[in-house]
Amino acid sequence: MYEKDIIIAPISALQGGSINMLRLSGEGAVECADAFFSRDLINAPGGRFYFGHLQNKNRIIDDVIVYIFRAPHSFTGEDVVEISCHGNFFITEEILNTFIDAGCRLAEPGEFSRRAFLNSKMDLLQAEAVADLIAAKNKSAVKNSLKQLHGGLSHSIQSIKEKLIHLASMVELDIDFSEEEIDIIPYDEIRKEIEVLTDDLKRLINTYHTGKNFTSSSEVLLLGKPNVGKSSLMNALINRERVIVSGQPGTTRDHIHEDILIHDHLVRLIDSAGIRRKAEAIEKAGVKRSVQLIEDAVLILLVVDLSQPADSDDSIVFEQLKKHHHKIRIIGNKKDLSVHPDMLSTLEKYFTGIPVIQVSAREKENIDVIHDTIGAYLRTHTEDHEHIITNARHHRLLKQCVTQLEQTREAVEQQLGPEFLSVDFRTAINYLAELTGDVTTDDILNHIFSNFCIGK
């Protein structure tokens, strides 16, 4: 249910900045702000800044800048007041409490975006793009979210939906003229159009493998047997001492991670427990977690000691990784000592065609090459599609729509009557309508917007 009361919330981070911002939205928001502002806001035109101070019971709370948005020319479509105050937590809290005591309500998570959707300022795909934009972890994700926020994905979905509506209308017209034996639209034409639309939807669905990682760090796993220099390499990559380095095998018994920015991508580097045949009980738990990390990682940096021949512990790791050939890059550490030919020949046997990047973690030699390799891999796997699906809800509804259209195509091939096709088309159309929010329920909206942060 749409509550039209005045809501308020901070719309900036409450710590670390010199300025904090708060937003009021709802019928009477301007009048409410006017009651505590030193200048007249009731008659103030929208689209302007006003400097003054907020006061409560003749006591100044803070010097502030107020910006007025008059409905419907605002983010929510309602009257909106945005207040910029000094970036002090206690000042911000007092401003919040002042307006709450005056009858405003603290906004729920995502409530500003929800009101924008309910007031037709944006559709549901655009509203969800707000959350995706804030959570984006690389520049490709930012670019994709901005395109979605500006309606790019919505227009594509709307185009497909309109074509389905046209097909449905032709089929229903066929029902009306069935007794007159007039063929409104040939079944072969329906089949071809369904195949084209299905292919369009499948292309969108296939981008989800890329898009689902847009709102989380890309996990890059350092893996190898103990004592090959994974911890030293981790420290070299992040350029500081994050991991204890020791000559004793098994020092890293659990995985350690660090988030760093590499070529416009937020990367989570994970230093895993070394995998070896004879491991202590506490090591075995870390090794078990490493096996799961292998499955989850976007990229695996296989770290080997170039100065030694490959042994049985190396073979255990290599066997474990063979099936992940597509996401492995080999880092040959300790090149400053020597390069043993047996290690290179063994690597070629297991990982044919994957070059070995020879580095020295101790001397920090060729560390920039590893950065470049990670960046190049991530760029390749966030390639620039026209639209990329990032949301599990979108993925589910698009797959349901495709399944329905494939069933409709089968009905066409079986020459079933137009009344059956009409029901199938309407079901497919409803999946797309739920995607954009043309068809929705309070339960769906509550679930979607509850995942937003307060102030959005």
274-317: pLDDT as tens digits = 665 554 444 455 556 777 788 888 899 999 999 999 998 888 88
- Mean per-residue pLDDT for 444-450? 72
Residue 180 has pLDDT above 60, yes or no: no
Taking only the tens place, the pLDDT of each residue in 191-248 is: 999 999 999 999 999 988 778 777 778 889 999 888 888 888 988 998 865 444 444 4
Q: Which 3-state string (H, E, C) describes the chain?
A: CCCCCCEEEECCCCCCCCEEEEEEECCCHHHHHHCCECCCCCCCCCCEEEEEEEEECCEEEEEEEEEEECCCCCCCCCCEEEEEEECCHHHHHHHHHHHHHCCCEECCCCHHHHHHHHCCCCCHHHHHHHHHHHHCCEHHHHHHHHHHHCCHHHHHHHHHHHHHHHHHHHHHHHHHCHHHCCCCCCHHHHHHHHHHHHHHHHHHHHCHHHHCCCCCCEEEEEECCCCCCHHHHHHHHHCCCCCCCCCCCCCCCCCEEEEEEECCEEEEEEECCCCCCCCCHHHHHHHHHHHHHHHHCCEEEEEEECCCCCCHHHHHHHHHHHHHHHHEEEEEECCCCCCCHHHHHHHHHHCCCCCEEECECCCCECHHHHHHHHHHHHHHCCCCCCCCCCCHHHHHHHHHHHHHHHHHHHHHHCCCCHHHHHHHHHHHHHHHHHHHCCCCCHHHHHHHHCCCCCCC
Q: Report residue 441's pLDDT band, with 50, 70 and 90 as the boundaries.
A: low
Going along the chain from its start, the domains and CATH numbers come out as: 7-122 (3.30.1360.120), 128-209+389-437 (1.20.120.430), 218-380 (3.40.50.300)
pLDDT for 415 equals: 87
Q: Report residue 406's pLDDT band, with 50, 70 and 90 as the boundaries.
A: very high
- Mean per-residue pLDDT for 90-104? 96
pLDDT for 252 equals: 45
Task: Look up residue 416 and give its two tokens.
Answer: 């079933």
Taking only the tens place, the pLDDT of each residue in 45-93 is: 999 999 999 999 889 999 999 999 999 999 999 999 999 999 999 999 9
State the pairing for strand pair 218-223/48-56. Answer: unpaired
> Phi first, then psi: what are they for 437, rounded to 5°?
95, 5
Highest mean pLDDT among 123-132, 178-187, 324-333, 394-403: 394-403
| Cα 324 to Cα 255: distance, rounded to the nearest angstrom | 20
Q: Report residue 250's pLDDT band, with 50, 70 and 90 as the boundaries.
A: very low
**Bigger pLDDT: 358 or 252?**
358
pLDDT for 139 equals: 84
pLDDT for 4 equals: 81
pLDDT for 351 equals: 92
In single-letter form, the type of residue at position 293 comes to: L
Whole-number average pLDDT of the chain: 86
pLDDT for 249 equals: 45
pLDDT for 244 equals: 40
State the pairing for strand pair 80-86/19-25. Answer: antiparallel
pLDDT for 253 equals: 47
- Mean per-residue pLDDT for 156-172? 90
pLDDT for 243 equals: 43
pLDDT for 271 equals: 87
- Mean per-residue pLDDT for 416-439? 89
